[in-house]
Amino acid sequence: MKAAGLAAGFGIGAVASLMGVAGGELLIPTLVLLFGADVRLAGSLSLVVSLPTMLMGFARYSRDRSFAVLGRNKGFLLWMAAGSILGTFLGGLLLGIVPGSVLLPVLAAILLLSAVKVWRHG
């Protein structure tokens, strides 16, 4: 289990770094499918595992000035951040109410839709 976790973390970290993401879109399915974690537990674990990934990505992207684009999109960024904070608050309130049997198909639908959109965009 330790070796599998190390390998999964390495792969997710490498892909997340290349794509400039935190890795949650890869972590949650990995935790659910490979390690059998409940979707809510996988979400919580994803937050903890994503933090070092985000910090490393932030450091890397800061050094090569990749964040310059943020200044040009400040309005959108602020609205997105505000929505994210509100959504996180509401989601936290619903965490004990919405069952995993509802969350898992929702996650699957989001991932499928994301995969189709990314495939068509690339």
Query: What is the model's pTM?
Result: 0.68
The pLDDT tens digits of the residues spanning 40-73 come to 888 888 888 888 888 887 787 778 777 777 778 8
Report how far residue 40's alpha carbon sits from residue 7's, in angstroms, rounded to the nearest whole number: 22
Q: At what angle do helices 2-19 and 24-33 cross, to 10 degrees?
A: 160
Tell me how far CA of residue 2 lies from CA of 58, 66, 77, 83, in angstroms.
27, 34, 38, 36
Report how far residue 49's alpha carbon sits from residue 60's, in angstroms, rounded to the nearest whole number: 18
The pLDDT tens digits of the residues spanning 69-112 come to 777 888 998 999 999 999 989 988 988 898 888 988 988 898 89
Long-range contacts of 76-84 (CB under 8 A, 24+ apart): none
